[in-house]
Chain A
Amino acid sequence: MTPAVWMFLAFVVATLGITIWAAKKNTGASAYFAAGRSITGWQNGLAVAGDYMSAASFLGISGMIALFGYDGFMYSVGWLVAYLTVLIVVAEPLRNAGKYTMADLLAYRLTPRPVRAMASLSTITVSTFYMVAQMIGAGALVKLLLKDLPWITTEWAIIGVGVLMVVYVVFGGMLATTWVQIIKAILLITGTIFLSVLVMKHFDFSFVKFFDAISNLTYTDSKTKLEVTRNFLDPGMKFGADVTKGWGPLDLVSLGLALVFGTAGLPHILVRFYTVPDAKTARVSVVWAMVIIGAFYILTTFLGFGAATILKPHNIPTDNMAAPQLAEALGGPMFFAFISAVAFATILAVVAGLTISASASFAHDFYTNVLHHGKEHRPGQEVRVARITAFVVGAVSIFLAIKLQSVNVAFLVGLAFAVAASANLPVIVLSIFWRKFTTTGAVLGLAVGLLSSIVLILLSPSIMGIDGPEIIGAKRRLIQMNALFPLTNPGILSIPLGFLAAIFGSLLRPEPEAERKFAELKVRAHTGLGAEKATSH
């Protein structure tokens, strides 16, 4: 067996150990869904970072910068700035007014059943898209990494990741998920720092040499097969008006909107703020997360441009493999093994976070509050339903990931961010800040945000377009006709639509009861009075 397999197995064994430890401490719903609200600020900061920095960040951005230069770095910037929305607007009111899920905040002063049903649908949609993307990434990674173990096919890799995430979530709950994310964040940062140092060593630790190489990069263009020299630090290789029939700049702005407003609507990030004792700790944890995530994304400069200059774009067969390939070129097989194991750990931690947020939403929002009017028939029922849901979520994601293997991963993640920004964020913001927000507004906002982002993506060039005969098999687009919507990112249209629908619905049918309860929500959200406390052990 290769070192990569050994390192990956070591990670699996360590995380299963944590799961066993966490399973012993899991007593009651608060322990299961929110780790007993006992996670400290820096721990949660690391866990948020571990929950957030997905395969799309580590493998995706490195590859994007390696092939498209500066434009790939735009993702890095957007994914950090997004945390200002989380910090300033969402984290503290959410922690103060909620219990386990995003819908807790919405249901606070609105009619719980319709709001929770819609919020749960949106949560599960976002989580599923995101999860399937991660699992497809895992499958592709395995196929490339374990070339000497041909019996591990993409399907088996997807099944393996699915089974592991279900085990973490079903037995270890939020506590195990949190520690898996913390370990992953530490591994990812360590690996990234090492790789960055190796890149700089290649350039004799001279930034002048490094940036000289980036700005004067000679390679073979993949389309024309001609040797070209480009400045990879110049914008425009992906979103430039000349390479995108003029729509690129608008697409970039639309992407930026989805990133900056979508993060604050991602259910698996939001539920992390319920794991800390109070709103102040939630705030501290966002700041910790911003330090870690920011440092990581700045380092993508070295990963991405390092791969571009040292490997050369024409030697990178699949963009998602740029970072591991760079590790192999600079640090040999052992380092390659380490970086690959880090990539696996990255995916596992993210899918575990997604699974627990989806199953918490189904159990707490849909099962307990929609079907059973907020009452548990037997103690522990909610947790049992969540565990069963985790199984179902795991099975469905494994099935979808195997079926959708050929779908572009970045597209699925983009879809998740677009739905989060267009459906979840408007209703969260309006419910915190707008007195006249109503149940009709929330349901309409969630529905329109969800539908419009999905429909616009189906009509976008990601799905619709006429491919030349040279594009074969899975790479051919689903609908072979000209795209009806010119942008690949729907945010610029779907986010305003989500807000407008929520406002329109609220004005259509005023709700005096919701207005009256706004006073209570305001006091709770801004003072923390009556907020859920940590469970004592």
Chain B
Amino acid sequence: MSENNGDKPNVNWEELEEQPAFRALLARKTRFIITSTIFFVIYYFALLVLVGWFPDVMKKQVLGKINVAYLFALSQFFMAWGMAFVYTRKAAEWDKAAAQIIINQ
């Protein structure tokens, strides 16, 4: 028993899901989502692990009085913005592929 949200277009969902074009799109998307998630999770928790267990490495001053800890923390912001930029570019490609699949169905 399930309910429907949204409008109910007359679509054969199973058939659409089995289309090679859709399968390929989903595979590309999933691959990107998994690799990028692994990347940012590692990058972020590397900071916490270093701060927590290796404070002496992090206290090293590299740019005047600015230490590794602050620079690494600051780099997280640019990492996040960079990832968002890459994702947006990728997602635009997926939008095109998805639009094709909808037209062809």
Q: Is A184 close to B, CB under 8 A?
A: no
**Cβ-closest chain B residue relative to A100:** B5
Q: Are A283 and B52 in contact (CB under 8 A)?
A: no
CB-CB nearest in chain A for B39: A84
Cα of A517 to Cα of B5 in the assembled complex, Å: 13
A204, CB-defined interface residue at 8 Å = no
- CB neighbors of B among A482-537 (8 A): 513-514, 516-517, 519-520, 522-524, 526-533
> In the complex, A527→B103 CA distance in Å?
11
- Contacts of B23-69 to chain A: CB distance below 8 A: 25-26, 29-30, 33, 36-37, 40-41, 44-45, 47-49, 51-53, 55, 58-59, 61, 64-67, 69
- Minimum CB–CB distance from A245 to chain B (whole Å) comes to 14
Binds B, one of A207-215, A312-320, A402-410, A419-427: A207-215
**Are B69's CB and A234's CB within 8 A?**
yes
On chain B, the residues within 8 Å of A78 by CB distance are 44
Query: Given that A74-B73, A97-B5 are known contacts, is A283 also in contact with B91, CB under 8 Å in the complex?
Result: yes
Q: Which residues of A have CB within 8 Å of B80?
A: 80-81, 83-84, 290, 294
Contacts of A160 in B (CB 8 A): none
Are A233's CB and B69's CB within 8 A?
yes
Complex interface residues of chain A between 258 and 298 (CB less than 8 A to chain B): 260, 280, 283-284, 286-287, 290-291, 294, 297-298
Interface size on A, residues (CB 8 A): 78
* Known A234-B67, A283-B88, A530-B8; contact A73-B73, beta-carbon cutoff 8 A: yes
How far, in Å, is B73 (CB) from chain A's closest CB? 5
Q: Is the CB of A530 within 8 A of B3?
A: no
| Chain B residues near A73 (CB-CB < 8 A) | 70, 73
Tell me which residues across on chain A come within 8 A of B81, comparing CB atoms: 290-291, 294
Q: Is the CB of A523 within 8 A of B84?
A: no
> Is A136 on the interface with B (CB-CB < 8 A)?
no
Are B74 and A298 interface neighbours, CB within 8 A? yes
Pair A233/B102 contact, Cβ less than 8 Å: no
Asked if A235 contacts B77 (CB within 8 A), the reply is no
CB < 8 Å neighbour of A253 from B8, B52, B70, B101: B52
Q: Kindly report which residue of chain A lies nearest to residue B43, judged by CB atoms.
A: A81
Given A77-B76, A84-B80, A294-B81, does the pair A529, B44 have CB atoms closer than 8 Å? no
Q: Name the interface residues of A228-260: CB closer than 8 Å to any CB of B.
A: 231, 233-236, 239-241, 248-250, 252-253, 256, 260
> Nearest-CB distance from A498 to chain B (Å)?
17
- Say yes or no: A290 contacts B5, CB within 8 Å: no
| Residues on B with beta carbons closer than 8 Å to the beta carbon of A286 | 84
Interface contact B98-A527, CB-CB below 8 Å: yes
Beta-carbon nearest neighbor of A83 in chain B: B80
- Cβ contact of B67, chosen from A233, A252, A297, cutoff 8 A: A233
> How far is A527 from B22 in the complex, measured between Cα atoms in Å?
9
Contact of B65 among A80, A211, A260 (CB under 8 A): A211
CA–CA, A99 and B13, complex, Å: 19
Given contacts A513-B1, A529-B11, contact A260 B41 (CB under 8 A): yes
* A85 to B38 alpha-carbon distance, docked (Å): 11
Chain B CB within 8 A of A98 CB: yes
Query: A89 interface residue, CB < 8 Å from B?
Result: yes
Q: Which residues of chain B come closer than 8 Å to A458, judged between CB atoms?
A: none
Q: Nearest Cβ in chain A — how far from B8, in angstroms? A: 7
Q: How far is the CA of A291 from the CA of B66 in the complex (A)?
A: 24
A517 nearest CB neighbor, chain B only = B2
Interface centre among B30, B61, B69 (most CB of A within 10 A): B69
Q: For the complex formed, measure the closest distance between the CB of A363 and the CB atoms of chain B, giving whole angstroms.
A: 16
Judged by DSSP, the binding face of A is helix
- Flag if A84 contacts B52 (CB, 8 Å): no
Tell me if B33 and A88 are in contact (CB < 8 A): yes
Contact A256 to B53, CB < 8 A, known contacts A294-B80, A523-B16: no
Q: Which residues of B contact A513 (CB under 8 A)?
A: 1-2
Q: How far is the CB of B43 from chain A (nearest CB, A)?
A: 8
Q: Which residues of B contact A524 (CB under 8 A)?
A: 6, 13
Interface string of A70-100 (1 = CB under 8 A from B): 1101101110110111011100100001110
Roughly how many angstroms separate A111 CA and B36 CA in the complex, as a whole number?
32
B51 partner, pick from A208, A212, A239, A526, beta carbons under 8 A: A239
Q: Contacts A80-B76, A298-B77, A529-B102; is A252 near B7 (CB within 8 Å)?
A: no
- CB nearest neighbor in B for A528: B98
Task: Check if A107 sits within 8 Å of B9, measured CB to CB.
Answer: no
Question: Which of B13, B25, B53, B79 has the largest number of chain A CB atoms within 10 A?
Answer: B13
- Determine if B55 and A89 form an interchain contact, defined as CB atoms under 8 angstroms apart: no
- CB distance A527 to B11 under 8 Å? no
- Given A87-B87, A112-B1, A526-B98, answer yes or no on A81-B64 (Cβ-Cβ < 8 Å): no
Please give the distance in Å from B91's CB to the nearest CB on chain A.
6
Give 10 closest A-B pairs by Cβ, nearest first. A249-B52, A520-B13, A519-B17, A215-B65, A527-B98, A211-B65, A235-B51, A532-B6, A99-B5, A256-B48
Cross-chain pairs A/B with CB under 8 angstroms, 15 sampled: A84-B83, A88-B33, A92-B91, A97-B5, A108-B2, A108-B3, A211-B65, A249-B51, A253-B48, A253-B52, A256-B45, A519-B16, A519-B17, A522-B17, A530-B8
Binding site for B on A (CB under 8 A): 70-71, 73-74, 76-78, 80-81, 83-85, 87-89, 92, 97-99, 104, 107-112, 207-208, 211-212, 214-216, 231, 233-236, 239-241, 248-250, 252-253, 256, 260, 280, 283-284, 286-287, 290-291, 294, 297-298, 369, 374, 433, 513-514, 516-517, 519-520, 522-524, 526-533
Taking Cβ atoms with an 8 Å cutoff, the residues of B that contact A are 1-3, 5-9, 11, 13-14, 16-18, 22, 25-26, 29-30, 33, 36-37, 40-41, 44-45, 47-49, 51-53, 55, 58-59, 61, 64-67, 69-70, 73-74, 76-77, 79-81, 83-84, 87-88, 91, 94-95, 98, 101-102
